[in-house]
A and B are shown apart, each in its own frame.
Chain A
């Protein structure tokens, strides 16, 4: 089969690789109909995630048709149309029992490696380095899905297009969880850093959960336009204005009740020199994160507010404003999304017409054009917001 393989920093290639086979009785094989490039794939592409091997198949947002099932997968049958969540979860451990699927204690065979970096290990993730298990990803014609009886959700309504349901695999639930963690109360003002796909879903979700106003912060006009489309009431271009004073002004001096970081470890700072300083430190591996968005989210949040981190971080950040967190009673909530928990309720919202997630798609390409898609997404060419690949 053809698959998108990581072949070193800033390079992916579509290669011929062996077809997947069942490795356990709880596996299924999916013939992929649509798959997408995630913003967090760019961290792999840019070489900021350790433990990648040349030839690794990328991709953790995918859906398709079941073509083979292991003998212990009783809830799916050949021909079912499914969306596959990016966290691989066993359903049998204490974390899965609590609904904390991205912390599954069994799905990461390389847990020992992750424990050295993070203390304890998270779940396995498709196409996302050895640290998260070393699973082949879904930017391919086929994928093996472990614990297929726990993860994939059947899409029974044929009227729903792939683009409407594909993002249940990651970015829609991730944005939703980012908003849910904010414990939004009526009248709340929420600020969202990053109007990429996760940020757009965080904006839409904050409004669904009752926020009165949502402030979107980005530096790309076309993304701020998308944020408006998602429902943002205020737009802040951080290259044009100082974010913190503007947030105070927009919130009567209080600061947003909740701040959601949808940027992660490759943030840009509005001041060129500061940005270069962070870039040099990151390139020299003196810090692993460029944290200007998160620092700003913390500093901007109102006293006693919530900072929700959905942008991906991998290691250690300098100048983390812990003094602001402690002295102002902030609450930080974060985590890889527990996608399985959100699949049904969010599918219902799509079916009910409350949201049509396809609004984030800017480009649909053939799987063979994946290298072009990565370049386009990375450099924001042609107003790129989200690339869907068709095998």
Chain B
């Protein structure tokens, strides 16, 4: 049933069916993991694999993973993450069974039935994961987790999506003008304003202007490129946060504060790789 967001916009309800299916599959993980840990040899014989020590060790490892999968699915508010982990686990199980079929086969018919069963589970996991991902995407698009002022309560869409805000002590006119003049590296301020991705809202209590940004910068290499850039503090979303701090400081103080460890001013990259707090060259 649709319910009302704080802003008064109707939005879609979270997908109840796939969530219940995910919970059931999550519980099944532990039910499957129990015999793997309690009676690994009997389990191996049941699926037609030789019960040598190496196979037993693998079985027990997979058993532990099954219990973790249960926790991963049931404890996560966003079930899709646990379900995609299950899909990865199913693929691992299938490859283990294929390897066992080649090297440790005790009963071919039983092994093939086990592979078919894992294949079936994989299909079910994949279906559920896709359903949950779709539902979550729709839920976010409808504004779930946002209050009337646009404050973010739930992770946004892409890996670099930035929804953030900063309060600047100044007039709206000045903040807007300086926003257009500031040299942003991650976006064009005029384009951002035209797209409605930046909003200027008076802060309560006469504390200045809140600058709200809702922007997804592009990055080379997609999610993988973004993750790599993040490790060294060079991702565009990190640049936005750094530049917002510098922008605020410049407006409120007239300078960009610099320390000996961070001589460039706020910089995620510098925070990852700090120099000692000793004097550096510069000019005033």
Chain A positions near chain B (C-beta within 8 angstroms): 3, 5, 17-27, 51, 53-57, 70-72, 88, 90-94, 97, 105-113, 124, 127, 130, 133-137, 144, 146-147
Contacts and interface: CB of A to CB of B under 8 A. Distances in A.
A45 to B, nearest CB: 15
Given A21-B282, A92-B169, A26 B276 contact: no
Interface stretch (B38-46, B114-122, B178-186, B261-269): B261-269
A23 B258 CA distance: 7
Contacts, number: 143
Contact of A124 (B167, B259, B278, B281): B259
Given A19-B279, A94-B167, A147 B266 contact: no
A350 to B, nearest CB: 30
Interface string B229-254: 00000000000011001001100111
Contact of A57 (B169, B255, B258, B277): B277
B275 interface: yes
Q: Which bucket holds chain B's interface residue count?
A: 35 or more
Interface in B149-193: 167, 169
Secondary structure at chain B's binding surface: helix, strand, loop or mixed?
Answer: loop
B262 A136 contact: no
Contact of B169 (A21, A22, A94, A130): A94
B260 interface: yes
Nearest to A71: B284
Given A110-B262, A134-B261, 6 more contacts: A17-B278, A90-B249, A92-B169, A109-B257, A111-B266, A112-B271
A57 B282 contact: no
A54 B276 contact: yes
A127 B276 CA distance: 10
B249 A24 contact: no
30 contacts: A3-B278, A18-B281, A21-B282, A23-B282, A23-B284, A24-B255, A24-B256, A53-B275, A53-B277, A54-B276, A55-B276, A56-B261, A57-B260, A57-B278, A88-B257, A90-B252, A91-B253, A106-B248, A109-B265, A110-B262, A110-B271, A111-B245, A130-B262, A133-B259, A134-B261, A134-B274, A135-B261, A136-B279, A144-B260, A147-B257
B282 A135 contact: no
A147 B253 contact: yes
A112 B252 contact: no
B14 interface: no
A130 B273 CA distance: 11
Contacts of A54: 276
B280 interface: yes
